[in-house]
């Protein structure tokens, strides 16, 4: 998963015609590390999805702008608009993430 390092890179990604998923995380977050362990299973189930990660501590202004309060959080963007947001409390299991991605990527 590619790491988003700049505001410009973020803007380029979210402004595409295809949906893109951004995972907000931090290095100190145990739930983020647990999610990383089951993401391969999620990708097998959901199929081909463009997913990137942003360290909330490195780009706090982006996290604040899009109401990312807890981590990990998954946000789906398309054409520069936030389409869906899976908050950290609902991102604990592979099934929760698969359901979220299946619903939000097929809108």
Active site residues: 29, 32
How far is the C-alpha of 98 from the C-alpha of 88, rounded, in Å? Answer: 14
Q: Say how far apart CA 8 and CA 46 lie, in whole Å.
A: 28
Backbone angles phi, psi at 17, to 5 degrees: -75, -20
Among 31, 19, 7, 24, CA closest to 73: 24
């Amino acid at each position: 998963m590619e790491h988003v390092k700049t505001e410009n890179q973020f803007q380029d990604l979210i402004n595409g015609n295809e949906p893109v998923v951004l995972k907000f995380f931090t290095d100190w977050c145990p739930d983020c590390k647990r999610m990383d362990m089951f993401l391969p299973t999620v990708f097998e189930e959901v199929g081909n999805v463009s997913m990137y990660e942003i360290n909330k501590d490195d780009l706090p202004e982006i996290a604040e702008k899009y109401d990312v309060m807890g981590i990990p959080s998954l946000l789906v963007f398309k054409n520069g608009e936030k389409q869906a947001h899976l908050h950290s409390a609902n991102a604990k299991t592979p099934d929760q993430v698969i359901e979220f991605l299946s619903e939000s990527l097929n809108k």
